[in-house]
A and B are shown apart, each in its own frame.
Chain A
Amino acid sequence: DTAVSQTPKYLVTQMGNDKSIKCEQNLGHDTMYWYKQDSKKFLKIMFSYNNKELIINETVPNRFSPKSPDKAHLNLHINSLELGDSAVYFCASSFGTGYDQPQHFGDGTRLSIL
């Protein structure tokens, strides 16, 4: 069983479109995250959710909105896609928000904007 799964794995779309990426974890974790990995492989936190509440919101454009229907899911919705949004987006999860909790990552969604 996949612990953290993301869909789709690849997403190719045009500028200006709206798209969503789904993430599910079956580890029983109560904190989930979204990261963006750019072309230089730099991985940067975007959001995290703990018990369905946003606890971190880095300086990302408000075109990006995380939505969590329950603690096993954290979806990422992106409005008005721009060329600079092209990247690999990773979902992750962990137990709680303690300082010593490893994070478990999905295999990423590669978003390409034409």
Chain B
Amino acid sequence: SQKIEQNSEALNIQEGKTATLTCNYTNYSPAYLQWYRQDPGRGPVFLLLIRENEKEKRKERLKVTFDTTLKQSLFHITASQPADSATYLCALDGGANNLFFGTGTRLTVIP
């Protein structure tokens, strides 16, 4: 069965630094991968989508890479701010827009 792992349950970084979150998957070849942000007590919010034929996608301070050989996606937040503190989830397509989610990484940006 598909297995999706996000590198660490929690990540603390200093404000202004770049946060890098990792999403690894096995037993699967997704056509696309999505990243979501979830704040406590709220639903996930879509951030970025990257397709299997794309190496990199950017949106403001966010950057996502997708390496289908390594079966890995990296999610970067540059110039991090305390407001970026949240849980970040990667999700892979399971066909018919069925998404399989990773367990998430809780990011804390320390002022």
Contact = CB atoms under 8 A, between A and B. Distances in A.
A102 B49 contact: yes
B42 interface: yes
A48 B101 contact: no
A44 B96 contact: no
Contact-residue bracket for chain A: 20 to 34
Contacts, number: 60
A55 interface: yes
Interface string A49-69: 010000110000000000000
Interface string A90-114: 1010101111111111111000000
Contacts of A4: 43
Given A105-B44, A108-B42, A99 B32 contact: yes
A40 B43 contact: no
A99 B41 CA distance: 28
Nearest to B44: A105
A102 B34 CA distance: 8
Contacts of A11: none
8 contacts: A31-B97, A42-B101, A43-B89, A44-B101, A50-B96, A55-B96, A96-B97, A102-B46
